[in-house]
Amino acid sequence: MKATLINYGVGNLFSIKAGLERVGFNVKISFLPEGDEDVIVLPGVGAFSAVSSYLNSMKDKFNELRERGVKFLGVCLGMQVMFDEGTEGGLSKGLGWFKGKVDKIYANVKLPHIGWDKLFVNKDSCNLTEGLDGKYVYYVHSYVAYTNDYVAYSEYGIKYPAVVCNDFAVGTQFHPEKSSVTGKIFLRNFYSWVKR
C-alpha cells in the first residue's frame, strides 16, 4: 500500500517514514498528495496555525481523495489539525474532521510534556487498539484536543485523547515511530485498518 507523507517544510520526517515502511507501507515524502496513494500521513511537526493554514489550502483535494477511499493518519500535531480549531500561534481553523478544540494542557505540570505515558483504551470502534491497553507510548507536546470523542486516552495532569478515529481518519497524540514495540503494534493495527 502506498502512503504519502506530507512535508510542511519543517522537522525530520524520516523516523515516521521508517516506522510506516517497517509495517509494509511504500512511503513517499511530498509537499502535495500524489493522487494514487492509499494513505496520506500528516506528521507531528510545526505550529498549529501555520500547518492548519497549509493543509486548509488543500482541503478540497483532501475531500476529493476521501471520496475515493483514501485514508488519513495524523501524528501529534497532525492529529490536532484534524479538529475544529486550535490556539497555538493564534486561533486558527483546523480541518474539522473531529469535533473539539486544541489548546494548552491546563494543569499544574511541566510543559512541554516529554516522555512515556500509559495508554488506556476507552472504546474502539475502529479496531486500532488491539494489544495496546496499559502499554506505554512516547509523547512530546504542550497542546491537546479537548473533546469527548476518542478511542484511547492518556493522563498528564488531565485526561486527554491519545487516539481518535472516524471512517476515514485516524489520529494519535503520541508518536508511534518513537514508541518502540507499542508504536509498531499500533502501526500494524493501522495497516490492517487501511487494508480492510
| 5-33 as b/e: b if 16+ CB within 10 A | bbebeeeebeebbebbeebebebeeeeeb
Among candidate residues 37, 113, 165, 175, the one labeled active-site is: 175
Among candidate residues 37, 76, 126, 165, the one labeled active-site is: 76
CA distance 28 to 5: 6
Give the DSSP letter of residue 30: E
First to last CA, the chain: 12
Q: Does the active-site annotation cover 177?
A: yes
Residue 130 corresponds to which amino acid? E
Q: Does the active-site annotation cover 76?
A: yes
CA distance 104 to 21: 32
CA distance 84 to 102: 8
Residues serving a catalytic function are: 76, 175, 177
